[in-house]
Structure 1
Amino acid sequence: MIAPLGHVLALAALLFILGAACVVARRNLFMIIIGVEVMLNAAGLALVAGSLRWQNLDGQALVLFIFAIAAAEVSVGLALATYAWSRRGSLDPDDYRMLGN
């Protein structure tokens, strides 16, 4: 049994809102990265649901590109967060307003 499109889109919207709340809260650089990942996954879920509903594989192909971009974003983000931790000893985003200092 396939879930109705409305339920899947509601779940995707809920995930996107949770990810956006995680980014807006800005407590930690890692949490910002996780929030962006949750938002990308929510967009992918919405694309797959629409793709299945209209029997068109374009949405599923686009999700593969989203996953590739998400993997690159995580690797660069974690590398920058690790560098920031070793440089300043903190992951608080407010400490990084002036990255040149």
Structure 2
Amino acid sequence: MDRIPLEHLLLLGAVLFSLGLWAVLTKRHAVVVLMGIELIFNAANLNLVAFSRYDPQLMQGQLFALFVMVIAAAESAVALAIVLRVYQHFKTANLNQIVGEE
């Protein structure tokens, strides 16, 4: 079975990271910003697993990716709870309206 070249995996990770960063910087809806942060975490996970694939004796990359996934899941739960409370208070999830820029 042929391996996918490391460059292709790193390019995919860079694309995921760029899309996540674009969502965080340009979108106004809090849930979309959280999805952008998740894309950034997934790009980091992809890079960690790609590097660990080329060092099969050490499972460090996969172990770090597992920790990142656990932290991302906890972050998502807490962040969505915060967004729900903010929505109940302000009746909007638009970040600009919440901070008073509009």
| Structure 1 residue 54: Cα displacement | 2.2
**Displaced runs of 4 or more, over 2 A:** 95-98
Residue deviations 1:72-97, cap 9 Å, x none? 11001100111111111111111233
> What is the aligned partner in structure 1 of residue 53 from structure 2?
52
> What is the aligned partner in structure 2 of residue 93 from structure 1?
95
Given the two structures, how large is their TM-score scaled by the length of structure 2?
A: 0.91
Cα RMSD for the two superposed structures? 1.1
Distance 1:20 1:93 in 2: 16
The size of the alignment, in residue pairs, is 98
Residue deviations 1:37-89, cap 9 Å, x none? 00000000000000001222101000110001000110011001111111111
Structure 2 portions without partners, runs of 5+: none
| Structure 1 residue 23: Cα displacement | 0.2
- 2:31 counterpart letter in structure 1: F
Within 5 A, what are the aligned runs for 1:50-89? 50-55=51-56, 56-89=58-91
Secondary structure of the residue aligned to 2:65 is helix
- 2:43 counterpart letter in structure 1: A
